[in-house]
Structure 1
């Protein structure tokens, strides 16, 4: 049996534990996911519902006639995707895991809506958040320290 993996929303109100290995992980580019997340794609990992436990029930959004999505109404974090009928598996958002480094994408889905300029960013300049002094100053002014 896999080791428990935990995750949740940005504010901490919604937490979950998954105790089975993911069936797959992938990037979804479909228009429904783009609109639901406000992003050009979203990273999902698919799990059996048998191994998923919510510490607090998430809020749910009926995103289409065939699917619904768990989220946190307090902070807005998108937590996943599930079909309404005959669901035995659920996709959880990779970024909502406490340690998302466990996952690597195996494929793209919804390729008809893929924004290819955003799919391959190799070679673009990279900046660390602690190198952006305005951001550092705002954190220090608001909290007394930069989160690290």
Structure 2
């Protein structure tokens, strides 16, 4: 059983079952909905999901329902019955112990931003630089 929730704490969830996949998606739909270069998704059988709190749904494309917290806007989980029938994808960065569950692949690289190929070469700072 894994647990997680949104940024403000208004929505909490638990997910159980066997992991179907865990990947970082680089498609434009995920990028635009989350405002990031890639979104990590950990996929489980949908019947294992339980949540407390109100979530809102957004149909980001045909057959796709993205669930998010209406208070803080945190994206939480995703249904795509056309591609992933019976499964739910959880945004794995929202897990309480997200660092314990590394993704195993990058997907939708055909849509990745071109600068992602060299992002690992950028300078790194433990905190905000110059602060």
Which bracket does the TM-score occupy, shorter chain normalised? 0.7 to 0.9
Separation in structure 2 between the aligned mates of residue 124 and residue 21 of structure 1, nearest angstrom: 36
1:130 deviates by: 7.7
TM-score normalised by the chain length of structure 1: 0.77
1:51 deviates by: 1.3
For these two proteins, the number of residue pairs brought into alignment is 130
**Pairwise mapping of residues 31-110 of structure 1 onto structure 2 (< 5 A)?**
31-84=28-81, 87-110=85-108
Q: Which has the higher helix share?
A: 1
Separation in structure 2 between the aligned mates of residue 44 and residue 29 of structure 1, nearest angstrom: 11
CA RMSD of aligned residues (A): 2.1
1:15 alignment counterpart? 12
- Which structure 1 segments of 5+ residues have no match? 134-148
- Which structure 2 segments of 5+ residues have no match? none
Q: Which has the higher strand share?
A: 2
Separation in structure 2 between the aligned mates of residue 129 and residue 67 of structure 1, nearest angstrom: 36
TM-score normalised by the chain length of structure 2: 0.86
Q: Which has the higher contact order (CA 8 A, sep 6+)?
A: 2
Q: Secondary structure of the equivalent of 1:95?
A: helix
1:19-43 C-alpha deviation (Å, 9 max, x unpaired): 2232210011111111111111101
